[in-house]
Structure 1
Amino acid sequence: MRGEHATGEQVSAVAAALNRLHLAIPSQVVEAVKPAPWGPAVAVDKVRKLADKQPDLGEDPGVRQAYQEGAAWLASTDPDQLVTNAYPPVLGLADGNHANLLWDGHERRVRIIDWEDSGHSDRAFELGEVTEHISRIDGALDAEQLLIHIDLAPGEAERVLGFRRLIALGRFLQLGPSATPHNPVGTLERLGERVLQLLG
């Protein structure tokens, strides 16, 4: 589904596939699975290190504001709270690339592929990956509409928002003027707007 403008039916099907993946396997089975290499603690550490390097993001005022507000959020205790998960673990891909979501037009459902980095994971982190992965720039998968269809536990939505902020910031901080040829024109500015939107 990378590069696609997902219809309402497809968004609902993505949510159904994620709900199946995250809820169908008993937590005691998932706990015995090796942790995914890309997860909350690794992500918090990596994104903070990216911010500390003060990357060259150009002179766009919106981009600079996004960096300043993002760096301030990363310096707070909010990211630290994401590392501890009180909810049951899930089996996750640890990769939110929309190319891993295949639309089956015959059966009208979404199938998930690419399990090489999968493992024991945090559901809120997995949802942050899917909604804020850089592949969202190529098409349109409405994150807010998707999350409406996800069966979140009470209080879990706040953790999802925290991970969305973290993942969006990580993608944003990896870009800059030198990265522009590898992404659609305006990608950095769009990610900056997204960061500001998520930081609210």
Structure 2
Amino acid sequence: MLIAFNKPYGVLCQFTDRSMPPRPTLAGFGLPADVYAAGRLDHDSEGLLLLTDDGDLAHRLTDPRHKQPKTYWVQVEGDPAEDALEALRHGVTLNDGPTRPAEVRRIDAPALWPRDPPVRFRKTVPDAWLEITIGEGRNRQVRRMTAAVGLPTLRLVRVAIGPYRLGELAPGTWHAVETGRSARPGRR
């Protein structure tokens, strides 16, 4: 079984939380029993999270050797200069080493659901949206990459993992997806 879930902002990618007070977890969304996240999204990131009860499938989705690209829509603070975008395209050096090259392009602001809490708006500081696709998955990698080129991330939404797409899935909702080669999984 493979589940596509639109993880809301502020939700942990686990089913329990021992902190006090407890934070929202996947347990609050009526997901099927015995599934677990194939990969992670930080609590302050949103979008596509795949869950499965199949260990082999989880491995194929998350192991860097299988090179499942992950695509994000990223709202950044500032007006990205072409040299910053080129740096991301060639790979930047982070404190844990250089990243692989990323696919990066500017996009118009996507039609997304409102975030709660909303992203801080400042009249004197411009922002922009980027579509970034990476082939690895280090801790907070996209946020660290944009910060390394002087573009702090304001909002991060994962929209695809390999062939699986977020589509029109509303935050906090999920559906089962097909895993066959001919299917266009994750689309509504």
Larger fraction in strand:
2
Give the TM bin, normalised by the shorter chain.
under 0.3
Larger fraction in helix:
1
Give the TM-score, by structure 1 length.
0.25
Give the TM-score, by structure 2 length.
0.26
| Structure of greater relative contact order (alpha carbons < 8 Å, 6+ residues apart) | 1
